[in-house]
Amino acid sequence: MIYLDAAATTPVRREVLEAMWPYLTGEFGNPASHHELGARALDGLDDARARVASVLGCRPSEVVFTSGGTESNNLAVKGLVLPMVGEALSAGGSGAVDAGAGQVHVAVSAIEHSAVLESARYLERWHGVDVFVLPVDSSGVVSADSLESCVASWDGKGVVSIMYANNEVGTVQDIAALSAVAHRYGALFHTDAVQAAGWLPLKVSELGVDALSISGHKLGAPKGCGVLYVSRSEQIESVTSGGGQERGLRSGTVSVANAVAMATALELAEFERLSRVSDMSAMRDRFISRVRELVPSVVLTGLEPAEGNRLPNNVSFIFPGFNGESVLLELERRGVICSSGSACAAGSTDPSHVLIALGISEDDARTAVRFTLPVTITAEDLERAANLLSESIVHLANLRQK
């Protein structure tokens, strides 16, 4: 099998499993318990928090452990906006929906993950928050000018959420420039860095963000663990009620094993990042060139590699005239595993909202296939995958002619 769906998930790394194993066995204590076993669990949790903080360049108290990217995004977008709605309500709003109208704003890009888009729509429906969807160009880039035009018109408070790197087409945004624009007009800035972690710099001071989301299973940690960085200087509201764990933002018994796994995977990914980006970029570029040689009708979506702002491990194509799901099935028959887009949209018959935002027609968007390269991939694997892709397209073309 040639696995080319790393954006969907990655296998648990042995180092991560070994690090978390004690907290699944002998050191199983609840970190909130006031006895020796609980104290040792708390020490493990504190150590994991400090290690994540070191990678992000923040204070340990600004690290919140979550179940993954979706929860982190929900907590960031809703949690940063709800205090603003509360202030508007206190200032004279007639109800929860009326309070936000015209006073509280959210801006998201058109290519955000559904966790961000749906969080924004929730705030719009139930709290009257004004939601602005920022356009992208044909490569998926959000311009600083379009963001400035949006936030400059706000006459109240607001939050901007723009993903660091897109999960479908790999486009990387200039987060430092975009966050500077938002802050110039008094808005807070959150970035979904789920796909960026392990490939791009994550120091929050350099990015200029108030909140940042990461998911562990994209980095070799188990599914069900993630991180939200959120600045201590900003007011944020919990979206779950309970015992007040994780700074009061995420009630419920904290999984120390998952926190340790998250910290270990993030440390390893950051340690290896610079040494593997160049090699992975070169393999990605060779794969793109080879596929273009073998399938001349293919169209790359997102930025061309020469433009430099594409994830090193992301390759996404459309195959005009072919059904994307059929291409996937033919590849799987030949031992190549990839996807048609976001794993979170699996089962949907709708074309990708990301590709539509790039100006791609619905018919062409349905032909999309995404290849995201794991860190263990080899040049030989990619050469074989390109050849098998060519075989698949030829087979489908022959079927179509019968």
Q: Is-contact 100 123, C-beta < 8 A?
A: yes
pLDDT values of the chain reduced to their tens digit, one per residue, 402 residues: 999 999 999 999 999 999 999 999 999 999 999 999 999 999 999 999 999 999 999 999 999 999 999 999 999 999 999 999 998 888 765 555 555 567 899 999 999 999 999 999 999 999 999 999 999 999 999 999 999 999 998 977 999 999 999 999 999 999 999 999 999 999 999 999 999 999 999 999 999 999 999 999 999 999 999 999 999 999 999 988 999 999 999 999 999 999 999 999 999 999 999 999 999 999 999 999 999 999 999 999 999 998 889 999 999 999 999 999 999 999 999 999 999 875 555 556 789 999 999 999 999 999 999 999 999 999 999 999 999 999 999 999 998 887
Token pair recorded at residue 48: 């994991």
Q: Is-contact 367 358, C-beta < 8 A?
A: no
**CA nearest neighbour of 247 among 263, 262, 265, 231:** 231
Digit-coded pLDDT (tens) for 368-383:
999 999 999 999 999 9
- What is the full DSSP assignment across 122-185? HHHHHH--EEEEE---TT-PPPHHHHHHHHTT-SSEEEEE--SB-TTT-BBP-HHHHHHHHHHT
- Distance of CA 99 to CAs 80, 82, 103, 363, Å? 15, 11, 7, 41
Alpha carbon 319 to chain centroid, angstroms = 25
Select which of 58, 225, 338, 344 is catalytic.
Answer: 344
- The C-alpha atoms of residue 205 and residue 190 are separated, in whole angstroms, by 13
What are the residues whose beta carbons fall under 8 Å from the beta carbon of 71, sequence distance 6 or more?
226, 228, 250
The whole-model pTM stands at 0.95
Digit-coded pLDDT (tens) for 226-236:
999 999 999 99
| Count of beta carbons in the 10 Å neighbourhood of residue 183 | 16
Q: Is-contact 23 41, C-beta < 8 A?
A: yes
Cross-sheet strand order for the sheet of 211-215 = 63-66, 226-230, 211-215, 188-192, 157-161, 104-109, 130-134
Q: What is the pLDDT of residue 144?
A: 98
In sequence order, which ranges of 301-365 are alpha helices (DSSP H)? 324-333, 353-357, 362-365
The three-class DSSP label of residue 358 is: coil
Say which DSSP state 11 is in: P
Q: What is the pLDDT of residue 91?
A: 78
Q: What is the pLDDT of residue 31?
A: 97
Q: Is 58 labeled as catalytic in the residue annotation?
A: no
Q: Is-contact 113 141, C-beta < 8 A?
A: no
Alpha carbon 148 to chain centroid, angstroms = 23
Domains located in the chain, CATH noted: 2-8+275-401 (3.90.1150.10)
Q: Position of tokens 């109240």?
A: 156
